[in-house]
Structure 1
Amino acid sequence: MKFTKNVEDVIANFRGLPRTVSAAARRDPTPLDNILAVLQEKYKLEKPSPERTLVENWEKIFGPSMCERCHPVRIKDEHTLVVSVTNQTLRSELQFMKRSILKKIQKLEHCEDINELVIRS
């Protein structure tokens, strides 16, 4: 029967044997600076993005009354913004405003490629 490392360590402790030491436990830890650099490169955290621009300008796009009742979910296929709303009534209201909302979004920096808006309740 195969046990996890933690279970093997408990059994070894109970029997008075030394704990198992894996190869990963013996090597030096990776400096946090290196991990952060890899994450910044992988997720492009330093570069401006449409997601960041949308979040920063959400109230400007939807106004103070609606911005708290709808939230961006994701940008699908780099051209479609998916928005989640709190109820069906708000969804219907935003469907009528879709064209004007898209124009506001397309005027934002880094959001020019967004040409479709999907509203989900």
Structure 2
Amino acid sequence: MLKMKFTKSTEDIIADFRGLPRTVTPSSRKPPTSIENLLVVLKEQYKLETPSPERSLVENWENVFGSSLAGRCNPVRIKDGQTLIISVTNQTLRSELQFQKRAILNRIQKLEHCGNIRELRIRS
């Protein structure tokens, strides 16, 4: 007789369907991690409490772009520590921001932890 191997989740679905007990593994016997411990691990792993250019940009986005533009564009990522990639909602806005690029870059560079940003790339 050929015995097929299934993942634990597939075996659990089959067990539920057939009214059988679910598969018990060492990891399924462990108590769940508390949300407080999980948050501590995530804060440490992703350095969420550490000041960073990304955090500074997010907190000051409306100050840099103004209330009329801030909701229509958003930061995507900082590439190589010095190029900020910005996503915009349409081509017209992209063109408008291209004309304001130098002024926007100056405002960004004045933010705490953002002095190393030397270039803006605007994409729609």
Is TM more than 0.5 here?
yes
Tell me, which stretches of 5 or more residues in structure 1 are unaligned? none
Offset from partner CA, 1:34-54 (integer Å, 9 cap, x none): 322211111111112211211
Q: Report the secondary structure of 2:39's partner residue.
A: helix
Tell me whether 111-120 or 19-28 shows the greater mean CA deviation: 19-28
Aligned to 1:29: 32
Q: Report the secondary structure of 1:21's partner residue.
A: coil
Instruction: Give the structure-2-normalised TM-score.
Output: 0.83
For these two proteins, the number of residue pairs brought into alignment is: 120
Tell me, which stretches of 5 or more residues in structure 2 are unaligned? none
Aligned to 1:58: 61
Q: Report the secondary structure of 1:30's partner residue.
A: coil
Aligned to 1:101: 104
In the alignment, which of 58, 64, 69 is matched to residue 72 of structure 2?
Answer: 69
Offset from partner CA, 1:59-111 (integer Å, 9 cap, x none): 21112222122111111111111111111121112111111111100000011
Letter in 2 for 1:85: V
What is the CA RMSD across the aligned residues, in angstroms?
2.0
Instruction: Give the structure-1-normalised TM-score.
Output: 0.85
Q: Report the secondary structure of 1:57's partner residue.
A: helix
Q: Give me the identity figure in percent.
A: 68
